[in-house]
Chains A and B, each alone.
Chain A
Amino acid sequence: MEKQEKGFPYGHVIGFLVAVALTIFALLVVFKTSFATSTKFTLIGLMAVFQAALQLFMFMHMTEGNDRDSKVIHTIYAIGMGIVIIVGSIWVMTAGHSIH
């Protein structure tokens, strides 16, 4: 699966351009559209997730080497825990439970 790193680094340049495009798209959504705030929030959140995935797979070589499964499973597990911590904390602390 390992390709020789020869010639022009197309993969890196494409990854970089896509990342810049996603950033610009997020800025356009926030400043140049009249969507509802929640729609804007969802859209820019999606852009962020796409961009993070791009970094993990295109720049961080997560899926190479003999330990690829360990790396991928562990990282996805950590991301899952992170989501539970963030969404759980905000839900508990803002949904009115904390006043009791």
Chain B
Amino acid sequence: MNMNTNSSLPMEYQSEQSRLNILGFWIFIGAEIILFATLFAVYGVLKPRTAGGPTGADIFVIKDVIVQTLLLLTSSFTAGLVIYEMRRNHLKGLILWTVITLLLGAGFLYMEINEFIHYVEMGATMQTSAFLSSLFVLLGTHGAHVTLGIGWAILLMIQLAKRKITPVTAGKVHIWALYWHFLDVIWIFIFTFVYLAGVL
């Protein structure tokens, strides 16, 4: 097995450390898949336990959920363009698409926070029923990840502005983009199995 770097690969694979960091991050994503699987399992089990409180069909506002979905889906696309620009060695393009990605992510978070406020105003709080507890934990864990991803990217952009695109910083941006795409993957399942399945 060739442990040396392969110059036909993009820059983020040119340093041994970055290559291993990327592999390590995929292993972390495996753990994240299990984390969200347990939360989906809990939600799937507790979904009918509404304890006389509202059901999903009573509280979900599908129009708003579609906007959230499009915001996150588009942000995953623009995060893809971040890597695309990085591999063309365009620092400005990289930063521009990252800023757009973060604005879309912030828009998503704004919608989600409003959604939570709307639920609580309707009397659907975390304490209302097992269904709502599991719903808030699943959505909240995803939303917390998005929040973390925004903070992470801001710190990365400061470093990129200082150090430019190098094998080390390229590896870091690649890993952040993996994280961001992963959050969209989780959202696809939330959109499908929480919201759409909730109003079937």
Residues of A within 8 A of B (CB): 2, 5-6, 9, 12-13, 15-16, 19-20, 23, 26-27, 30, 37, 40-41, 44-45, 47-48, 51-52, 55-56, 58-62, 64-67, 70-71, 74-75, 77-79, 81-83, 85-86, 88-90, 93-94
* In contact, B42 and A89 (Cβ under 8 angstroms): yes
State whether B19 touches A66 (Cβ < 8 A). Answer: yes
In the complex with contacts A52-B189, A67-B23, A78-B29, A37-B196 CB distance below 8 A: no
B contacts, CB < 8 Å to A: 1-2, 6, 8-10, 13, 19, 22-23, 26-27, 29-31, 33-34, 36-38, 40-42, 44-45, 48, 66, 69-70, 73-74, 76-77, 79-81, 83-84, 87-88, 174, 177-178, 181-182, 184-185, 188-189, 191-193, 196-197, 199-200
Per DSSP, chain A at the interface is: helix
Q: In the complex, are the beta carbons of A41 and B197 less than 8 A apart?
A: yes
Q: Are B30 and A78 in contact (CB under 8 A)?
A: yes
Bound together, the chains give a CA A35 to CA B184 distance in angstroms of 28
Choice from A6, A26, A61 contacting B88 with Cβ under 8 Å = A6
B185 touches A5 (CB 8 A): no
